[in-house]
């Protein structure tokens, strides 16, 4: 009997894992992973696949749970055993649906939630006489009530299964049935953990919500943008992590353990930008995605960072976005986005470099004009550029060299700096161009422009003379907060843009109210214009693309903050 029971559970698992709905949609040219109502909403899912295909897929999923339990019922009747086997068969079918063998789907199995499999399980448990009507109908009634009141499918499912587990626990059923009901609840809670996090963060879909999707409306577009925490304090911005803060403060949890957990988490939807509307009347919706890696992880484990960026691009596509932007240190992973785009060619990926350069190009003349207006002699001034091995910083050096007496180029690779400096010397024979790897040389400069990719501050009070103006393009900031104590120093944040329409954000992006980094603004502009070929990838930034974003930003109503 034990052998037959185990054989039946294996059969139930395999039945549950059969990709019937996936195959049905595949025959119609649809990908079930990209047509998931838990990400897109029921309306958008129906719009994409059609009512007939959606209904057929739903019935096939329900049939899997129903068939697995009926098979268990037949064995129960043949051996005169108890109904516990039916509950365990239902659990096996559900687990098979949630965790199918990769041989059936390949490397990317659909991430179904299995509600219809559960419906088939409960129906069969009652029809076959395994469980009473009140045991099988109560969880469905609880599900319907919670869904009707709150609109959250994930919460309704978990509370329905909680009711089932509680009823089975107090019933005269044997321990295997009680254990099976509990495992059903725990399995659903684990599968819905991301949805529960979205509920806490206020980003989860409710049944009936008007969910944006690429191509759905002519006057609305959808983008996604990848962010990450800059410090431990950023973890606590979202409610799904905020509960850990007092535990860390009391020493119950260590910061190291929080970081370790964060490194294991796949990308998630943590926020959304609201209220962006171009001067042409087009609404731009933008989801904020995050894999909570701190800056040092990008330096210490670039392979993990690249893997998470690729997963973020896939999530963005599943959420219905058409453009995926890489922000802050995400912008430098995977060969500055090239590997991410190669791994997920179905969505446009950009690192935002072109418009970032464009905002700097637009801001520098104003900064130089303000500098001169305060009685400073620009023609005799010494300027320094930090991070001059990079594309953005070299662009700054190229812009300011014709207007100042001397430019000090600071970087890590002196040989590369010299090659770049020779290019500037040929174009600007009257400007003295020097190179250095020593930050102490910054004390000679009256103007400092910095744009590094270092996760930590690189400029400190000992590097700066009183009265120096510093244009900080680094994200996180290159300038340590202590530099503000140096008399007369003025620190100007760079690459900050205000989108049109009065934007609000559910997450503090650290750029001020209604403002975003230029790399995010580039993501929004590509999405609004449909000019996907303008994306920024790799180390090279085309001048024509820089000019395009500057022109389109002005046309659409984006403003550079200076």
For residue 44, the model assigns a pLDDT of: 47
- Helix 84-98 to helix 51-79 angle, to the nearest 10 degrees? 150
Gap between the Cα atoms of 363 and 400, Å rounded: 12
Residues 234, 235, 241, 247, CA torsion sign: negative
Q: What's the rounded Cα separation, in Å, for the pair 391 and 526?
A: 21
Contact yes or no for 93/118 (Cβ under 8 A):
no
Per-residue pLDDT of the chain (562 residues; tens, 9 = 90+): 566 777 778 788 888 787 766 666 666 665 555 555 545 444 545 555 566 666 777 788 888 888 888 887 776 555 545 677 888 888 888 888 888 877 665 555 556 678 888 889 898 888 877 788 888 899 999 999 998 999 898 899 999 999 999 999 999 888 988 999 999 999 999 988 888 988 988 888 888 777 666 666 678 899 999 999 988 888 888 888 888 999 999 989 898 898 888 889 999 999 999 999 999 899 999 999 999 998 888 888 999 999 999 999 999 998 889 999 998 889 888 988 999 999 999 999 999 988 988 887 778 888 888 888 888 889 999 999 999 887 778 888 988 999 999 999 999 889 989 999 999 999 999 999 999 999 999 999 999 999 886 767 899 999 999 999 999 887 667 898 899 899 999 988 778 899 999 899 888 888 888 999 999 999 999 999 999 999 999 877 787 898 899 999 999 999 988 6
CA 157, 162, 165, 168: dihedral to nearest 10 degrees?
-100
Half-sphere exposure of 53 (CA within 13 A, CB side): 19
- With tokens 């659990």, the residue in question is 91
Tell me the whole-structure pTM to 2 decimals: 0.79
Long-range CB contact pairs, 278-282, < 8 A, 24+: 278/500, 278/501, 278/528, 278/556, 278/557, 279/500, 279/555, 279/556, 279/557, 280/555, 280/556, 281/219, 282/219, 282/220, 282/221, 282/528
Question: Cα-flanking dihedrals φ and ψ of residue 436, to 5°?
Answer: -165, 155
Q: What is the 3-state secondary structure (H, E, C) of 55-76?
A: HHHHHHHHHHHHHHHHHHHHHH
In whole angstroms, give the CA distance from residue 293 to residue 68: 42
Sign for the CA dihedral angle at 488, 494, 500, 506 comes to negative
Q: Which residues are bridge partners to 290 per DSSP?
A: 227, 268
**Are 478 and 452 within 8 A, CB to CB?**
yes
Backbone angles phi, psi at 499, to 5 degrees: -65, 160
How many angstroms separate the Cα of 202 from the Cα of each of 59, 152, 289, 506?
A: 31, 11, 14, 9
């Amino acid at each position: 009997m034990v052998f037959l029971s185990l054989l039946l559970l294996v059969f139930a698992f395999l039945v549950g894992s059969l990709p019937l709905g996936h195959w049905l949609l595949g025959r119609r040219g649809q990908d079930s992973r990209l047509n998931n109502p838990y990400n897109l909403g029921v309306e958008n899912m129906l719009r994409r696949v059609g009512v007939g295909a959606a209904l057929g897929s739903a019935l096939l999923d329900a049939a899997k749970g129903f068939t697995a339990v009926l098979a268990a019922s037949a064995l129960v009747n043949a051996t005169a055993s108890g109904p516990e086997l039916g509950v365990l068969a239902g659990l096996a079918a559900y687990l098979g649906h949630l965790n199918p063998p990769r041989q059936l789907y390949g490397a990317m199995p659909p991430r179904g939630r299995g509600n219809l499999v559960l419906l088939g399980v409960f129906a069969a448990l009652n029809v076959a006489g395994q469980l009473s009507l009140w045991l099988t109908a109560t969880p469905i009634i609880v599900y319907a009530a919670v869904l009707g009141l709150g609109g959250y499918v994930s919460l309704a499912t978990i509370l329905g299964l909680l009711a089932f587990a509680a009823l089975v626990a107090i019933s005269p059923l044997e321990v295997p049935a009680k254990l099976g009901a509990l495992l059903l609840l725990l399995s659903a809670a684990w599968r819905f953990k991301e949805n529960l996090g979205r509920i806490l963060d206020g980003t989860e879909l409710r049944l009936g919500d008007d969910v944006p999707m690429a191509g759905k409306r002519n006057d609305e577009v959808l983008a996604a943008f990848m962010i990450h925490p800059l410090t431990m304090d950023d973890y606590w911005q979202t409610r799904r992590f905020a509960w850990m803060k007092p535990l860390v403060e009391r020493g119950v949890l260590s910061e190291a353990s929080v970081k370790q957990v964060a490194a294991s988490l796949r990308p998630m939807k943590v926020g959304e930008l609201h209220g962006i509307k171009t001067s042409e009347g087009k609404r731009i919706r933008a989801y904020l995605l995050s894999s909570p890696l701190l800056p040092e992880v990008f330096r210490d484990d670039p392979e993990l960072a690249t893997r998470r960026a690729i997963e973020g691009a896939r999530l963005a596509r599943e959420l219905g976005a058409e453009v995926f932007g890489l922000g802050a240190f995400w912008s430098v992973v995977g060969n500055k986005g090239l590997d991410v785009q190669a791994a997920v060619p179905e969505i446009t990926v950009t690192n935002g470099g072109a418009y970032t350069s464009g905002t700097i190009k637009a801001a520098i003349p104003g900064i130089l004009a303000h500098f001169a207006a305060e009685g400073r002699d620009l023609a005799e001034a010494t300027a320094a550029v930090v991070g001059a091995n990079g594309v953005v910083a070299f662009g700054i050096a190229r812009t300011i060299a014709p207007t100042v007496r001397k430019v000090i180029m600071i970087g890590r690779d002196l040989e590369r700096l010299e090659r770049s400096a020779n290019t500037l010397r040929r174009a600007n024979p009257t400007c003295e161009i020097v190179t250095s790897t020593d930050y102490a040389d910054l004390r000679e400069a009256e103007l400092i422009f910095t744009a590094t990719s270092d996760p930590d501050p690189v400029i400190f009070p000992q590097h700066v003379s009183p009265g120096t103006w510093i244009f900080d393009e680094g994200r996180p900031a290159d300038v340590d907060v202590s530099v503000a104590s140096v008399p007369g120093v003025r620190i100007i944040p760079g690459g900050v843009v205000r989108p049109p329409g009065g934007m609000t954000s559910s997450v503090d992006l650290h750029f001020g109210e209604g403002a975003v980094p230029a790399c995010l603004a580039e993501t929004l502009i590509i999405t609004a214009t449909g000019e996907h070929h303008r994306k920024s990838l790799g180390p090279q930034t085309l001048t024509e693309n820089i000019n395009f974003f500057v022109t389109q930003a002005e046309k659409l109503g984006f403003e550079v903050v200076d």
